[in-house]
Structure 1
Amino acid sequence: MTARLQQQKLAIGTRIAIRNRTFEVAYVDHMTLRYTPCEGGRSQRMPVETFWSLVDDGVVGFCGTAESGDNSLQLWELTGEQCDEMHRRHKYVATAMLSPRKIMAASNLRKTVQVVAEKLGDPNPPSRTTLARWLQIFAQSGGNPKQLLPRHCDKGRRETRFCFEIEAVIQETIRNDFLTVNRDSIEQVACNIIGKISERPWLDGPVPSRSSIYRRAAALDPYIVALKRYGSKFANMRFRAAGASLEATRPMQIVMMDGHRMDVLVVDTETGEILGRPYLVCLLDVASRAIVGWHISLVPFCATTALAAIKDTCSRDPASGPGGVPEVIVPDNGPDLASQALRKLCTWLGVHIEPAKAYSPNDKAHIERFFRTVNMMLIHLLPGTTFSSPSDRGEYKSGELACLTLDDVKEKFEKWLTTVYHVHADSNRAPIMAWRDLQSTYPILHFSAVELDVVARVVHRRAINKGRVLVNHLYYKSDCLATLEARGIGDVTVMVDEMDLGFVYVQHDSDPKVLYRADATRREYTRDLTQYEHGKVLEGIKKMHRDDMKALGEHTYELARWELWKDIQELTNSRSARRLLALKSQKEKTKWKREERKNQQAIITEQALVASAVPSAPAVVNAIISLPYENQTFTL
């Protein structure tokens, strides 16, 4: 295969097949090939030599017309002037070939030029030799008239005009100065190249102009330029098509879920203090474009709020309005949705979770469009709106005009959703009408809110202590728990709803069908309390503790106890000190008696040794009488 044919087949836009997948060539030069999946995805790179080796092995193939080895321009690429020129030359060639004489004879060629020029009124007819060349090209191409077009692009010099040393300076400067995160302009790079060449007087050859350097930079792969200058995230987003859209043929087949921070400030019901901007979690049915479930709260989008929205969706009766159990949910591809309760609920309902691709907005295009619609048609009309950006807000005083509570925002959103969005026809059909038609032909499951509330809870294993269980630093009590504890049941399963910490359900292994409700001991604190808010409170308490320890000093508690212990040890009139003194006195008295007894025994032994003869009986009796009573020893 010739290099010219290879270059034609590897033009930008050529489609290739690799392992039964279709790809499109996004860039190609003499060394590197960059291609992207046609259904959407990240770009891949491959050396050109490797590509042709895979073609020879049958791993890679060409799709469509790109397989043809025709090196001429395609018909749709021709301009009007090129079409006119092609037909003009073909008229000369066809007339010469229809002559009964020899086609390449000089007389035939001169006669053909004269006749056709007069017929067409051609002011610039070709010469005899030019017509002979056209005939030869036409015959070699197999009768392809496009080969008769002028090939000005093949003319001129193709080799570089600079010596090897200067080429090395150009390539090195572009690589080290232009393709960096410093993002030097190409004008600065051109100045650097000229400056480096001027510092090396031994280089022989012409100095490249700025235009030459600009053309070198323009010939680089734009993906590589963006990758080196702005990073992989920017490059992947910039040079990637949106991809194929999701298609659904029945209701609740594919449901998109996402969270959005609403552009409006809400205030406290009692104090009127600004609480912040609420978060909206929505589930949208792709087939009908209807909103099948939603949840608004001050908790950021996470597994807890997503679980609340899914419970709202699955508890709705499909016959009364959009809702029911979805088949597939497409959420964000993030760790925030990794929840035990969410996985448990989806497993129990038979719902599949298919996260969207990272940095791929096309996977959730419908829900993103809905958030834009709700902002434009509702949120930006409410008092206290923050609009989408500071430039859009202008001099609007959002904080001063905020007057809506969280319940007010929920009421306005529900009313707008029912009376405005579900009856609009921007998507060719009103969502509520499309839902009714689709729902009547396909059955959709739904469950009661009570059942879903029990199932969609986080499970903890705890031990009963005095009729209470401790979960997340909160105690929950029940008389039933005291009864279970009296029966010897210690460990139980505690099911917690992270959107309402006011009560929990308790289940023991001996009778799992029975659920016991246990209320929180701190009723006022846990009323409408969420796990997110409770976590923030605990973080605040820990921060206060750290601040207190920092203000008092490190190891203040331990040092205080140590000083107290030393003070206690120094007390001489305390009970412990008196007992210690008595023990020391008794020990010294016992030691003194033992030493006195030892000294008396030594005296007796010395007296016995001094006597050389056996003493008389009166002397012995007198010696014994002289001893203390406890040291007298009688031998019979």
Structure 2
Amino acid sequence: MDSDRVRIAAQGQLTMTDAAWEQARSRAAVIGALAARRKTRLADADRAAAELGVSRRQVYVLLGKYRHGSGLVTDLAVRRSTGGKGGHRLPEPVEEIIRDLIRRRFLTRQKRSLASLHREIASVCAARGFKAPTRNTVTRRILMLSPVDVGRRREGAEAVRPSQSAGGDVPVIGSVLEQVQIDHTVIDVIVVDERERLPIGRPYLTVAIDVYSRSIVGMVVTLEPPSAVSVGLCLAHANGDKRPWLERLGVEADWPMSGKPKMLYLDNAAEFKSEALRRGCEQHGIGLAYRPPGRPHYGGIVERVIGTAMRKIHELPGTTFSNPTERGQYDSEKMAALTLAELEKWLVLAVAAYHGSVHGTLGQTPTGQWTAGVTATGTPSVSTNPTAFLVDFLPVIRRTLTRTGFVIDHVHYFANALKPWIGRRDSLGPFIIRRDPRDISRVWVLEPDGHHYVEVPYRSISNPAVSVWEHRQALGRLRERGARQVDEAALFRMIEQMRHVTDTAAKMTKRVRRETERRKHAGNAGPAMRASAVPAPPVAPAGTDPTGAPMPRFEQIEEW
């Protein structure tokens, strides 16, 4: 496909001011609830109008946009001019006044009214020479706070106890994808490279599990440490149809679970709090919640799944077990036999076996529970454009457009689609760019109107596709050699030299072998981003490992 013409729908959330984004998000919360009903009664429309501060007619207009759009927050954004840079953004001193007075005046047992709070904010702003915020703006700031925290400070702990889980138990989940938990782990097995079959180390696993059905809805295996990209890839895997991916793996198995989560439940790791993840989830109507500190039972379902999966992993050759004591005299590196691709196939077969096994807590199989949930609530919502969905969760880069396109880390990118913007680039400011670290041969550039992404490839199409890790390694090698200025040609020459050494070495070190496998796996990962042209390997029958041997059953995945 001509990359100059590749345009995918974009959120534009990164180009919206905070105030505009908050307004769109509050609208989506109200209008989304109306859209979920088959009919919208006048009384419901009037309540929504009062809550949003608009007319009944405007409620129906917004409802039409939401239903005929993509169901995204930005479908309900105000499309008129924002007044230029900072047009709707409150000055930071005003934001500070609002935060301070909400904390000192509103969140107290005195329970002052919103009108009283707004009057005091307006008075302080006037005394300091600032334009006062509207009452709706102050209301939105309060709605962004935790309702439980607001209730506790204004009413007391007893008043909010019904809103919290009883006895420290996690609240009951009543439907599929109502809550999905995601977590990472390093897998307790050493894998080997595909060429020499020599050990390259332990890979990482990112898993998403639907709490209602205990089904595994998403999985990513990588040689990269956990990151925001791992989370985005896992979400994209959970959201999409898995049949094309299973065919590419050469595995004959059913994995029908897919759809957009309504709520993600995560721990407090840094990769779960990135800007890309937060805005991407808000855009797609996915709530974010984090485990309360000191409460390990919150989020424990995915950890139990991972823990039991690791015990099954301990039956594979090359396992490291859980600790040195358990490993004993077992030589994990000497016994390592599975490549990363073979391990991924084994995991898929293990997931299929688990989905068909009776779950001790549910009293039926996860597949049966999932099917019952879908029958009760309908087929889960999925993204119609897997590429756009994944792009929404990729890391963000901001760059200024030049006459020759964009320059990112010494690499030039250009497409004919950029030409209309080059003449007025001085008035456009920095562009929002998304980049997949696994393959930096193209990037996605957000159009100035903020509605679509344009795929932009290397300016020099002869340059090979590389990962960001390979790029950084070459850049570091050049600087070690004293290169004061690094240009693109020198960078890719170094990458080619490094690849040549890697590909021709008779006995490679573990680190070099790992880099080689990481490059191969990154190039084949992300089926939503690029279709693979490599013929599928022979299909392994269900219930066997990639070699055709019987696979241990994944019978009891969760132990209480």
TM-score (ref. length: structure 2): 0.49
Bigger fraction of residues in helix: 1
Higher relative contact order (CA 8 A, sep 6+): 2
- Structure with bigger gyration radius: 1
TM-score (ref. length: structure 1): 0.44
